[in-house]
């Protein structure tokens, strides 16, 4: 794991945007794995700005989102399809037909999960997967106890996740307790993974992911197995890491190596 510790959420968003821009500049037809939630919003705004200024293009890219509430049609304001359209897709030059979000309204959710996996495979697999992290260490909607090799499937949300996400729903509005989510095995298949975490309420989960044991009790700890996982956090989310100075030292040394390689 590469641990990048930055001052604040704005720096985290800019760093994430650099990773996405570099990916698209190297491979215009990249397959991008995307996430919803509060954390990536600033990153999406930065990508929209860069797209408008002609610095990055999504016109040949394909996207697959991590998850969707089961029972919500994409036109529902709380659906993740709606979120992605509003927060990113409507503002960039992506071909909407090449954007995929698991179908929350699927008649048969089980076959829809298999179909989602098949579509990802047909697209050549995910090149770069964006992740956030839940306070309980979830990635996608892979809640604690999720199988570390799991594939796209229907998952029950924990009480904690339902409560955390209740802020997006009106009082009395129907809030699903089930989701379709890429599995941990699906996420680990991505060629590169970038996880963003900001704020003190993520500090415990970040510590468990990076320094805790590899365990289904913290699904994000599975990223310890990934050969190219970049964890980008602000100082608040990093505040419970034990070896913070060591990670900063590694980054400084890496930078020197990159500078040297660039000078060759
Ligand atoms: C969203 C997702 C979730 C979120 C996580 C953090 O598609 O898969 O795992 O990344 O719940 O959410 P925020 O960023 O709202 O704290």
DSSP string over the chain: -EEEEESSHHHHHHHHHHHHHHHHHH-TT-EEEE--SSTTHHHHHHHHHHHHTTS---TT-EEEESEEETT--TTSTTSHHHHHHHHTGGGS---GGGEE---TT-SSHHHHHHHHHHHHHHTT--SEEEE---TT--BTTB-TT--TT--SEEEEPPHHHHHHHGGGSPTT----SEEEE--HHHHHTSSEEEEEE-SGGGHHHHHHHHHS-S-TTSGGGGGGG-TTEEEEEETTTTTT-TTHHHHHHHHHHHHHHHHHHHH-
Residue 28 is predicted with a pLDDT of 98
Residue 264 is predicted with a pLDDT of 95
Task: Tell me which residue has its CA closest to atom 10 in ligand 1.
Answer: 132
* Domains parsed from the chain with CATH numbers: 2-263 (3.40.50.1360)
User: Does residue 16 line the site of ligand 1, with CB under 6 A?
Assistant: no
Mutate to test the pocket of ligand 1, among 13, 33, 35 (most ligand atoms within 8 A of CB): 35
Radius of gyration of the chain (CA): 18
Residues comprising the chain, all counted: 264
Half-sphere exposure of 229 (CA within 13 A, CB side): 20
User: Does residue 137 line the site of ligand 1, with CB under 6 A?
Assistant: no
CA–centroid distance, 36 to ligand 1, in Å, is 6
Task: Tell me which residue has its CA closest to atom 2 in ligand 1.
Answer: 140
Question: Each residue of 113-126: pLDDT tens digit?
Answer: 999 999 999 999 99
Question: Each residue of 155-201: pLDDT tens digit?
Answer: 999 998 899 889 888 988 889 999 999 999 999 999 999 999 999 99
CA–centroid distance, 38 to ligand 1, in Å, is 7
Query: Has 171 been annotated as catalytic?
Result: no
Average pLDDT, the chain: 97
User: Does residue 70 line the site of ligand 1, with CB under 6 A?
Assistant: no
Range 201-228 average pLDDT: 98
Query: Has 138 been annotated as catalytic?
Result: yes
Place of tokens 């999406």: 44
User: Does residue 196 line the site of ligand 1, with CB under 6 A?
Assistant: no
Separation of alpha carbons 35 and 54, rounded Å: 23
User: Does residue 132 line the site of ligand 1, with CB under 6 A?
Assistant: yes
Q: The pTM is what?
A: 0.96
Query: Has 29 been annotated as catalytic?
Result: no
Query: Has 253 been annotated as catalytic?
Result: no
Separation of alpha carbons 127 and 29, rounded Å: 10
């Amino acid at each position: 794991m590469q641990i990048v510790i930055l001052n604040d959420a704005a720096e985290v968003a800019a760093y994430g945007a650099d990773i996405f821009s570099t990916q698209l500049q190297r491979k215009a037809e990249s397959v991008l794995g995307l996430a919803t939630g509060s954390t990536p919003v600033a990153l999406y705004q930065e990508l929209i700005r860069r797209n408008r200024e002609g610095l990055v293009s999504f016109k040949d890219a394909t996207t697959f989102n991590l998850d969707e509430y089961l029972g919500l049609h994409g036109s529902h304001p709380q659906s993740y399809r709606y979120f992605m359209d509003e927060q990113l897709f409507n503002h960039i030059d992506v071909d909407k037909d090449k954007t995929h979000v698991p179908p929350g309204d699927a008649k048969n959710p089980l076959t829809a999960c298999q179909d989602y996996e098949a579509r990802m495979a047909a697209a050549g697999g995910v090149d770069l997967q964006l992740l956030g992290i839940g306070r309980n260490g979830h990635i996608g909607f892979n809640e604690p106890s999720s199988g570390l090799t799991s594939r796209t499937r229907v998952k029950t949300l924990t009480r904690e996740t339902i409560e955390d996400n209740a802020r997006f729903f009106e009082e009395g509005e129907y809030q699903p307790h089930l989701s379709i989510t890429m599995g941990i095995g699906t996420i680990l298949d991505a060629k590169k993974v970038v996880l963003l975490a900001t704020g003190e309420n993520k500090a415990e989960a970040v510590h468990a992911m990076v320094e805790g044991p590899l365990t289904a009790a913290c699904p994000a700890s599975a990223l310890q197995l990934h050969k190219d996982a970049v964890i980008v956090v602000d100082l608040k989310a990093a505040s419970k890491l034990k070896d913070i100075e060591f990670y900063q030292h590694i980054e400084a040394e890496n930078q020197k190596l990159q500078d040297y390689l660039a000078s060759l």
